[in-house]
Structure 1
Amino acid sequence: MATVKEYSVEEKLASVLKLQKIDSKLDEIQVLKGELPIEVKDLEDEIEGLNTRQAHIENEIKGIQDFIASKKTAIKDAEALIKKYEKQQDNVKNNREFEAITKEVEMQNLEIKLAEKHIKDANEEVKEKTRTLDIAKKTVGDKEANLKHKKGELEKIVAETEKEEKGYRKESEDARTKVDPRLLAAYEKIRTNYRNGLAVVTVERDSCGGCYNAIPPQRQAEIRQHKKIIVCEHCGRILVDNDLEATVTI
């Protein structure tokens, strides 16, 4: 039966410290990228929303134009009826028929006036929506220019760091397999608690290298002995001494 190797506390600390150094290199690359990935994604989402709004306005304008066309057709139909009724007036037999036809003519004239009002109002609405559409198009153009610039910056950084980042990611994956599972879980949890991603820190000037709170002399002595894993009582970070830090390289 194969035996599972037991790692000493010093080996465990060394393995998690190495992982921290690798992950810190990856963090530095992300800092170099800055907010660009988020800004690019936000701009892409914003442009998509603006394009959807633009398409909606264009559909509204088309709908209004179709409405105007229908009203123009209605005017032509009314004018044709008026001509028809005027001809009929020449052949009426009595005043009653004349008055009935006159009312029909008046009705069609009212229909024409109403249609003309609808067309006027609709044309004003088209003008307003066209102005809104022009503003939307300009906004999209400005956003797309900004996006192109941001993407260019990001692509340049990615091109410069891609090989290095891939190498560190591979090293990070390999290093994780060599860290004690329980210690790795603690390391991952601590890392997520801090923006700088530091879960393993050295004692600097008698203080924690993460939160800068003082570390008592007795505690520092225990850290240097590598007999047990010691965390900062203030921030929870794993503490190592400078001697161990100097021996762990990547």
Structure 2
Amino acid sequence: MLRGELPLEVQDLEDEIEGLTTRVEKIANEIADYQRAISQKKGEIADAEASVERYKAQLDEVKNNREYDTLSKEIEFQTLEIELCNKKIREANNKIADKQREQESSEALIAERQSDLEVKKNELEEIMEETRVEEEKLKEQVKTLEAKIEGRLLTSFKRIRRNARNGLGIVYVQRDACGGCFNKIPPQRQLDIKMHKKIIVCEYCGRIMIDPELAGVKIDKATGATEEKKGRAKRSIRKTSTSKKSTDANDME
């Protein structure tokens, strides 16, 4: 309505913060997994070292070369196990260092986005406070207009609007294209739109399409560009979308 893109910006920031928070939690879990793996490897090293000491002690008691060779191989095997565990520990520590840097980066980004979010929320709150009275009047107009629209059509319109990225359920034709997704509209469908005899929806984005005249927009015939009457900015359509869309839907019945 009168808030422009601020609600979308706030939502985008909240979504990004949520995603970053999830990432930080995932990283923390991965770090914990590596730390558990390190503890396990340290336990294996302790067991292997104890085995090596035991086998070395047994070397003094061997009675033949076969027993000596067997103990020597066990000592060699346990020594290799210790080296392998130490290698795994080094790799895990390197992974932890990488993950900690990634975690710090994500946490810094979260703090930055939270600061941006606070600013946007304050801006939005100020606008809402400044326009509260006007918005209440517009909401009353919306209720009045909605009462005149067939329930099935109103439900469909609200569904379209919820699914639209920018909240616009009704858009006007701009340069032979949908004003919502900007895909080209076939000439016959443009003619159907101008006839105002039935509701025409974009086959790409699902938005209801109307001609510029019905939206209060005049066309520069020389360039094909659209310009709103009374010098209002194009974004005013977005600002008054709820009341205007309801009126347009009623007119198209």
Instruction: Give the TM bin, normalised by the shorter chain.
Output: 0.5 to 0.7
1:93-132 to 2 correspondence within 5 Å? 93-132=63-102
- Offset of residue 113 of structure 1: 0.6
- In 2, the alpha carbon distance for the partners of 1:167 and 1:131 equals 52
Q: Which has the higher contact order (CA 8 A, sep 6+)?
A: 1
| Mapping of residues 2-81 of structure 1, within 5 Å | 30=1, 32-81=2-51
In terms of mean alpha carbon deviation, does 140-149 or 166-175 score higher? Answer: 166-175
- The one-letter code matched in structure 1 to 2:77 is M
For 1:125 and 1:84, how far apart are their aligned partners in 2?
A: 34
Helix, strand or coil at the partner of 2:62: coil
**SS of match in other structure, 2:217:** coil
Q: In the alignment, which of 183, 193, 197 is matched to residue 171 of structure 2? A: 193
Deviations 1:150-175 (A, max 9, x none): 11111121122223211221133225
One-letter amino acid of the counterpart of residue 47, structure 2: D
Distance 1:59 1:175, change over 3 A: closer
Rg comparison, structure with higher value: 1
Answer yes or no: is 1:84 the counterpart of 2:54.
yes
Partners of 1:54 and 1:180 in 2: how far apart?
48
Query: Distance in 2 between the 1:87 and 1:55 partners?
Result: 48
Q: What percent of counterpart residues are identical?
A: 40
Q: What's the TM-score, normalizing by structure 2?
A: 0.60
DSSP-derived class of the 1:38 partner: helix
| 1:184-207 Cα deviation digits (max 9, x unpaired) | 99xx9xx92337x998979xxxxx
Q: Unpaired runs of 5+ in structure 1?
A: 1-29, 203-207, 215-237, 239-250
How big is each residue's C-alpha offset from its partner over 1:214-234, in whole Å with a ceiling of 9 and x where there is no partner?
9xxxxxxxxxxxxxxxxxxxx
Please, what is the CA RMSD of the aligned residues?
A: 3.2
| Higher share in helix | 1
> Aligned AA for 1:69?
S
The 8 Å contact of residues 72 and 115 in structure 1, kept in 2 or not, is answered as: yes
Moved over 4 A (4+): 197-202
Gaps of 5+ in 2: 158-168, 173-178, 180-208, 222-247, 249-253
Report the CA distance between 1:59 and its aligned residue.
Answer: 1.0
